[in-house]
Structure formats: C-alpha cells, structure tokens
Amino acid sequence: MQLVVARIGRAHGIKGEVTVEVRTDEPELRLSPGAVLHTEPASAGPLTIETGRVHSGRLLLRFAGVKDRTGAEALRNTLLIADVDPDELPEDEDEFYDHQLMDLDVVLADGTEIGRITEISHLPSQDLFIVERPDGTEVMIPFVEEIVTEIDLENQRAVISPPPGLIDDRAEIASARDAEAAAADSEDAS
C-alpha cells in the first residue's frame, strides 16, 4: 500500500535542499536518510533521501542526485509516497492511516446511520472526513476528538457527536419553524 508522506516545497539554499510539508505522523520513520520514495508525478522519482534536518521549524531534505537549486526547484509540489505494509499500524493507538478509515460507517452514539467515509481531506488546521450520506449527498466532518468520539475498526465504524447544524441544518431549520408554528397556534387558540 502506498501513502503520501510529504509534499516538496521551495528550494532552500543553493546545494539542492528542499522544504517539505510533512503529511505523516511518523516523519522520523518515513523521511529518514536512505528512504526511497515514489513520487507523484512519477517522472520525478523515485527519490532517495540523502540528508534531512530541521531549520527554523521546517524539515529540509536533500535527495541523491539533486545537487543544486535548479534541480531542487524542479521538484517543487511533488508528492512523496512511501510503501507501507497494509497490516502495519501507527505506533500511537489514537492514530490511524487513511486506508484504515476509508469506507467506515459513520453513526451517531445511538446508532443512527449518517453515511460512509469516502475521502479524507488533509487540511493545514485539521483533517476532514468526506461522508457520503444514504441519499447521495456529502457532508464534511472535522476529524477532531470532540466530534469523532470513537473509531471502532473491529466493527468498521466511526461514532460521532456532532454539534447542532453540522450534519443537517435543514432539519434544525424545520424544527425551529415547527416550534414557531406551534407557538403561533397556541397564541391563536388563546
């Protein structure tokens, strides 16, 4: 199985180093010297990491055969992809690989079906589950512990506790409209 572990950013300096946007919780495992990574686009690789270091809070990598700024700039926006055993699990029990989360059923704590995870979007601030509802519509659910209360891989489900309006604001609006109508009816009856 292949996992995207980083995206190459700008060149740094004149000796072929690049900044990378890390997309793995295990950079010391996936982005260490000697690691051979596939690329997207495939024409850029495979790339072997020659050196890695942190500078001003950013990871800098140098790849074998890339010796100058021009070569480093040519790699900009290339995705770095690692081969991972599908049975391998992250070291932290509260972490998951995307392939483990794909196709999980999303349910409320009471078992109400919300849909199925069809995509995971990795944003700078948080990850989002893209969930396909039974009616074919999609809803985005932030993958934060306040909302996603349990990941149950054994039963292939993600349990959520969404704030009002996250899942279906139409139901909330209809409920408020019904409450207003009931109040108006009781005033008319008085």
Higher per-residue pLDDT: 38 or 175: 38
Give pLDDT tens digits for 1-11: 777 888 999 99
Q: How many whole angstroms separate alpha carbon 137 and alpha carbon 124?
A: 25
- From the list 134, 129, 130, the residue with the least C-alpha distance to 112 is 134
Domain boundaries, the chain: 2-83, 98-166
The pLDDT of residue 169 is above 60: no
d(C-alpha 157, C-alpha 14), whole Å: 49
Q: How confident is the model at residue 87 (pLDDT cuts 50, 70, 90)?
A: low
Q: Using one digit for the tens of pLDDT, what is the confidence trace for 101-138?
A: 888 999 998 988 999 999 888 777 788 899 999 998 99
Pairing relationship of beta strands 157-160 and 105-108 according to DSSP bridges: parallel
Distance of CA 189 to the CA centre of its chain: 54
User: The domain 2-83 belongs to what CATH superfamily?
Assistant: RimM (2.40.30.60)
Q: How many CB atoms lie within 10 A of CB 131?
A: 22
What pTM did the predictor assign?
Answer: 0.55
Q: Residue 170: what pLDDT?
A: 44
- Is residue 22 within 8 Å of residue 10, measured between CB atoms? no
Report the alpha-carbon distance of residue 23 to residue 106 in Å, rounded.
24
β-pair partners for 148? 160
State the pLDDT at residue 176: 47
For 11-62, what is each residue's pLDDT tens digit? 999 999 999 988 776 777 788 899 899 988 888 779 999 999 988 888 899 9
- Domain topology for 98-166: SH3 type barrels. (2.30.30)
pLDDT one-digit tens code per residue, 90-102: 666 677 777 788 8
- pLDDT > 90? residue 158: yes
Task: Give CA–CA dist 63/46, Å, rounded.
Answer: 10
